[in-house]
């Protein structure tokens, strides 16, 4: 499957999984010339390979139509983080609910470490489609691979589109679990030492043990 088709498939999967609704959210993949990104205001079921927009590293359109209004975030994340090979931005229900509260997702579960730290930060607010929002996302990410976007949604990146999709899905599940737990009581937050241990274990996850 070519990269354009992968982006189309990812956008449809995000809609089917309930992580996006209507034309919300966007997906991109880094390329040698810049990036391929989903277009503005096209329903996932109407997307085709030809719908996907190619931009150069400065954000100039090379082919296709009108890119998502959040193209600046995609361009700037690739410029800032060399490990980013693909980006997924969603308006998923529980991540957005926590982002509306403008709260970080704390270390209530060791899986929070999958984003690279002890918590998943929420950015400051900036209007969609602006350079200010891109800067806010870059700051919130820092040394993490996912962040919440105040009064907006969530963003995750990975080495591949599959990695980014998986992380975005996991962040949404974690936000759901956290909000449910908080509704039932006061979640117990893991210690820094416990989260350091989780980070270390995730760094070796899937590798054979032994010496």
Note the pLDDT tens digit of each residue in 51-96.
999 999 999 999 988 999 999 999 999 999 999 999 999 999 999 9
- Phi/psi at 100 (nearest 5 deg)? -65, -30
Tokens of 124: 């400051």
Active site residue ranges: 70
Asked whether residue 113 is domain-assigned, the answer is yes
pLDDT of 209: 59
The answer to whether the CB of 78 falls within 8 A of the CB of 70 is: no
Express as a percent the part of the chain with pLDDT over 70.
97
pLDDT of 32: 97
Question: 3-state DSSP helix/strand/coil percent for the chain, to nearest 5?
Answer: 45, 15, 40
Segment 155-171, tens digit of pLDDT: 999 999 999 999 999 99
Q: Which stretch of DSSP H or E encloses residue 175?
A: helix 161-184
- Domain holding 90, by residue range, is 3-203
What CATH number does the domain containing 78 carry? 3.40.225.10
**What is the pLDDT confidence band of residue 208, given thresholds at 50, 70 and 90?**
low
Three-state DSSP class for residue 171:
helix
Asked whether residue 209 is domain-assigned, the answer is no
Q: Cα–Cα distance between 105 and 84 in angstroms, integer?
A: 22
Residues in CB range of 182: below 8 A, 6 or more apart: none
Q: Cα–Cα distance between 181 and 203 in angstroms, integer?
A: 27
Asked whether residue 138 is domain-assigned, the answer is yes
**What is the pLDDT confidence band of residue 204, given thresholds at 50, 70 and 90?**
confident
Asked whether residue 210 is domain-assigned, the answer is no
Q: Cα–Cα distance between 64 and 80 in angstroms, integer?
A: 25
Number of structural domains found in the chain = 1
Asked whether residue 126 is domain-assigned, the answer is yes
Asked whether residue 20 is domain-assigned, the answer is yes
Q: Is the pLDDT of residue 110 over 50?
A: yes
Left (φ > 0), alpha (ψ -120 to 50) or beta: where does 210 sit? left
pLDDT of 211: 36
pTM here is 0.95
Asked whether residue 60 is domain-assigned, the answer is yes
pLDDT of 210: 47
Asked whether residue 208 is domain-assigned, the answer is no
């Amino acid at each position: 499957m070519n990269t354009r088709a992968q982006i189309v498939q990812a956008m449809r999967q995000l809609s089917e999984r309930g992580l996006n609704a209507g034309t919300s959210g966007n997906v991109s993949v880094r390329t040698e010339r810049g990036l391929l990104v989903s277009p503005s205001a096209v329903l996932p079921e109407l997307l085709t390979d030809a719908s996907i927009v190619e931009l150069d590293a400065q954000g100039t359109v090379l082919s296709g139509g009108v890119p998502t209004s959040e193209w600046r975030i995609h361009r700037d994340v690739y410029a800032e983080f060399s490990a980013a090979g693909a980006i997924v931005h969603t308006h998923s229900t529980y991540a957005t609910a926590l982002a509306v509260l403008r709260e970080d997702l704390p270390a209530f579960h060791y899986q929070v470490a999958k984003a690279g730290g002890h918590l998943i930060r929420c950015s400051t607010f900036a209007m969609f489609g602006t350079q200010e929002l891109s800067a806010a996302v870059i700051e919130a990410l820092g040394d993490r691979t996912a962040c919440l976007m105040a009064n907006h949604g969530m963003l995750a990146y990975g080495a591949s589109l599959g990695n980014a999709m998986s992380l975005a899905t996991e962040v949404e599940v974690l936000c759901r679990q956290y909000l449910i737990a908080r509704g039932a009581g006061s979640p117990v937050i893991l210690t820094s030492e416990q989260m350091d241990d989780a980070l270390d274990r995730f760094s070796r996850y899937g590798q054979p043990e032994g010496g």
